[in-house]
């Protein structure tokens, strides 16, 4: 079996390629621009008119991990169009060409934000909940999911969708690495009272393990799966755990969450505040029962691996 990985030079795609190569499986990295990966194929920019001729030859399973992700401070009216061009139009064009080429399974990396931006306490997202995408990124991913179902219905190609939350690990960017820097530098953080929220995350190792499972598992076809480390954590607890693995206790100030939300609103940072103060819990029971899958790496071990290699 030959496995193509689109977005092979990115955080998730590169990790998938490394795991497949370590298992001596036949992997074809597909990248936007030359990245120096063994056996790579170069696609150029991904959009609704990308020419995939020759790039999918011989591929049996395609993992699509390329995407336009969050761009801070972008005008909403421009953002949705830009996200759609790559995340929806580009994905659908790729899937149609893959089906024409005889690719038998298409594994699509979506986002938990398709389910919504936040959860109520004790009511985690489930895989088959009605989607409630809000932000342009999530809307573009949801539109791609819908279109992929249509492609699958009109062809012999199976589609599997995975919706991860925040992915952390080696070479991760964004909020997680910001937290690691804050702890290492001893920056005073007004988050000592944020102990009552609960958020799900997933280590890169656990996400890759599920992707590999979905490449092969007969019961994955046509399904949508949620993924996490299987343990939720509050913001303050996460910072303390990062302190343990970095060897530097975080400087947490006991500021009430209501004051933090008010301050964030005044300076136009409400979205960032929600990610630190709110809940986003994920129920992975469907993933466990249907695929017989368990996260192989614990949250603490995932943090250790991420920080050691950061």
Would residue 137 show up in a list of annotated catalytic residues for this protein?
yes
DSSP notation for 148-202: HHHHHHTSS-EEEEEE--EEESTT--THHHHHHHHHHHT-EES-TT--S--B-EE
List the catalytic residue out of 137, 142, 176, 293.
Answer: 137
Q: Residue 254 has what DSSP assignment?
A: -
Can you say how many angstroms the Cα of residue 12 is from the centroid of all Cα atoms in its chain? 8
Enumerate the H helices of the chain as residue ranges.
11-22, 76-83, 91-100, 136-153, 175-185, 204-216, 235-246, 257-266, 270-277, 285-291, 299-309
Q: Residue 89 has what DSSP assignment?
A: I
Strands of the sheet with 158-163, listed across from one edge? 41-42, 26-31, 2-6, 61-64, 105-109, 158-163, 224-226
Q: Are 106 and 64 in contact (CB under 8 A)?
A: yes
Q: Are 41 and 30 in contact (CB under 8 A)?
A: yes
Active site amino acids: 137
């Amino acid at each position: 079996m030959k496995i193509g990985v689109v977005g092979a030079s990115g955080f998730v795609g590169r990790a998938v390629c490394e795991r497949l190569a370590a298992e001596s499986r036949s992997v074809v990295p597909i990248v936007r621009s030359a990245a120096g990966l063994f056996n790579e194929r170069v696609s150029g920019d991904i959009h609704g008119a990308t020419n995939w001729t020759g790039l999918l030859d011989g591929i049996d399973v395609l993992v699509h991990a390329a995407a336009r992700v969050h761009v801070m401070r972008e005008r909403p009216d421009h953002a949705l169009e830009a996200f759609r061009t790559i995340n929806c139009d580009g994905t659908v064009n790729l899937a149609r060409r893959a089906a024409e080429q005889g690719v038998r399974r298409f594994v699509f990396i979506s986002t938990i934000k398709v389910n919504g931006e936040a959860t109520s306490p004790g009511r985690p997202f489930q895989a088959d909940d009605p989607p409630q995408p809000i932000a342009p990124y999530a809307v573009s991913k949801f539109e791609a999911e819908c279109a992929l179902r249509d492609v699958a219905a009109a062809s012999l190609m199976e589609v599997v969708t995975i919706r991860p939350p925040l992915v952390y690990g080696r070479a991760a960017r964004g909020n997680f690495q910001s937290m690691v820097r804050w702890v290492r530098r001893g920056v005073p953080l007004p988050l000592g009272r944020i102990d009552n929220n609960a958020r799900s995350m997933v280590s890169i190792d656990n996400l890759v393990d599920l992707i590999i499972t979905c490449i092969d598992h007969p019961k994955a076809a046509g399904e949508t799966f949620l993924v996490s480390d299987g343990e939720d954590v509050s913001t303050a607890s996460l910072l303390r755990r990062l302190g343990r693995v970095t060897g530097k206790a975080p400087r947490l100030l006991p500021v009430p969450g209501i004051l933090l939300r008010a301050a964030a609103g005044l300076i136009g940072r409400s979205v960032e505040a929600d990610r630190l103060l709110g809940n986003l819990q994920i129920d992975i029971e469907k993933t466990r029962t249907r695929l017989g899958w368990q996260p192989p790496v614990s949250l603490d071990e995932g943090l250790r691996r991420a920080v050691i290699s950061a």
